[in-house]
């Protein structure tokens, strides 16, 4: 298996989601990808089955916020002060989708621990939320309103949100590693009255965290990307191919 690392920098939401899809559709049986990227301008991504009507598109245009659909499921995310990762991997690699999810999350934790020893308290969620019940609540439109099994958390607060989809015989998984607090502004772009928006914003503050808040410092994105790459190689026991 040939593993390729891609640092594609900052791009629009349409480019980022299109790139993940292109890699997935063209992935060969003997290759896999680990990609890191950011978003410019900031963007809200919706799960594949989520309705655009959940979002105040007019306010997004006013504030120069992209809105895009993800090819994976899940709910709304505001991509801002973060690093997004994607992994594209053929199922011929002998891991089930569930095992792939677990192994990716573990690799991300390894990389974050390399970045700063204070992240040694990171752990995986071991309980799956009741999504049917959650979707009946206002917070049901927000990805970071709950933590799924094997997602990464710190002191019981969600740090990384991930989503996965199988396409033919290839698995695409991507997710957001929160680095700054701007993601909490997502509540401002939800179609809801002010009391509900306030409740959603408070909920995000209570249920999520980000690296800058944990470490009390600005995040060095370039060093973080290097640490995530190294953590991935350690967990999966390989070296990325150099073309």
Nearest-angstrom CA–CA distance, 231 and 233: 5
Q: Tokens representing 116?
A: 């700063």
Nearest to 76 by CA among 164, 190, 159: 190
Look up 60 and say whether it is catalytic. Answer: no
Output the CA–CA distances (angstroms, integers) from residue 242 to 33, 84, 124, 179, in the order listed.
12, 22, 31, 28
Q: Which two tokens stand for residue 54?
A: 């959940």
Q: Residue 226 — φ and ψ, nearest 5°?
A: -65, -40
The DSSP code sequence of 13-46 is: HHHHHHHHHHHHHH--TTEEEEEEEEESS-EEEE
Which residues does 205 contact at the CB level (< 8 Å), separation at least 6? 184
Catalytic position from the list 60, 143, 179, 227: 143
Query: In Å, what is the CA distance from 37 to each residue of 132, 159, 222, 224, 236?
Result: 31, 17, 11, 12, 20
Active site (catalytic) residues: 143
């Amino acid at each position: 298996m040939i593993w390729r690392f891609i640092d594609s920098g900052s791009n629009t939401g349409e480019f980022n989601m299109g790139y993940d899809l292109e890699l997935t559709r063209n992935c060969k049986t003997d290759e896999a990808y680990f990609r890191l990227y950011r978003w410019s301008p900031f963007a809200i991504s919706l799960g594949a089955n989520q309705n655009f009507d959940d979002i105040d598109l007019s306010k997004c245009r006013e504030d120069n916020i992209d809105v895009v659909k993800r090819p994976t499921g899940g709910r709304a995310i505001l991509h801002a002060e973060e690093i997004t990762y994607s992994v594209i991997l053929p199922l011929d690699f002998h891991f089930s989708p569930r095992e792939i999810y677990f192994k990716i999350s573990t690799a991300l934790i390894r990389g974050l621990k390399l970045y700063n020893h204070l992240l040694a308290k990171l752990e995986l969620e071991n309980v799956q939320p009741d999504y049917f019940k959650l979707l009946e609540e206002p917070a049901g439109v927000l990805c970071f309103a709950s933590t799924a099994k094997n997602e990464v958390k710190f002191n019981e607060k969600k740090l990384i949100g991930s989503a996965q989809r199988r396409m033919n015989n290839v698995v695409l998984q991507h997710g957001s590693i929160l680095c700054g607090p701007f993601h909490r502004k997502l509540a401002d772009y939800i179609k809801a009255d002010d009391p509900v928006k306030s409740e959603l914003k408070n909920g995000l503050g209570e249920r999520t965290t980000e690296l800058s808040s944990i470490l009390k410092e600005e995040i060095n994105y370039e060093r973080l990307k290097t640490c995530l790459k190294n953590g991935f190689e350690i967990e999966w026991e390989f070296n990325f191919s150099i073309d």
